[in-house]
Amino acid sequence: MAAVFSPEMHELLAICAEELTAARRVYCIGVHSCFSLAHYFTYVGAMAFANIIHSPDEPGGIMDLLSQAGPEDVVIAITYAHYSWEVVRGVSIARECGARVIALTDSMVSPITRGTWKVVPLPMEGPHFVPSLAPAFAIIELLLAEMVLRAPEVEQRVQDFEERIKRFGGYVTTEPPSEGELTSTGLSVDASAHA
């Protein structure tokens, strides 16, 4: 994890954040275990930034989405060995459409590094034999933090988002449920039965 918090990584993420905040649209693609990384970046990022497009989650969605990319857009592509064909193809489409590509990957010889604008190295070592995504999640958090530093007005966008979700009942409060709420689920709230 030391590489994640190095001065070199900070400088690289700052450069990427500058481009991402200025882009017309930002796409992020990843499949298999990397889908969680792409989804997290776009879900959290779209709360704050109107230019971040949600990651596709249906078959063929990467091609459909990236075929709309252009020179004013940035595509973040995430994959590591064994490299996903869908992400490699997505990077090829993005480059053909003129979009800048930021590759988050485990090696400088990864197939998604060819012709990309920036490569963000992902340390994959972890406590077991399966590659660890913890460093990649930390890098995404740091990248989002760098973006927020360049656009302080996004704090209000996040607050507005959360207020909308609250208004429509999307969040559960920490207050204990009333007797009626518990009995409607089939659970008893008769305190004397537990005395």
Here the CATH number for the domain that contains residue 57 is 3.40.50.10490
pLDDT, residue 179, reads 65
In a domain, residue 119? The reply is yes
Does a structural domain hold residue 188?
no
Closest by CA position to 34, among listed 101, 110, 92, 104: 104
For residue 110, being part of any structural domain is answered with yes
Specify the pTM.
Answer: 0.85
User: What span, in angstroms and rounded, lies between the C-alpha atoms of 55 and 16?
Assistant: 19
**pLDDT tens for each residue of 134-192:** 999 999 999 999 999 999 889 899 999 999 998 888 888 777 666 665 555 554 444 44
If one counts the domains in the chain, the total is: 1
4 contacts 15 by C-beta, under 8 angstroms: no
Q: Average pLDDT, stretch 48-55? A: 96
Q: What is the pLDDT of residue 193?
A: 46
Write the burial class of residue 100 (CB in 10 Å: 0-12 exposed, 13-18 middle, 19+ buried).
buried
* Full domain range(s) for residue 106: 2-159
The answer to the question of residue 56 being in a domain is: yes
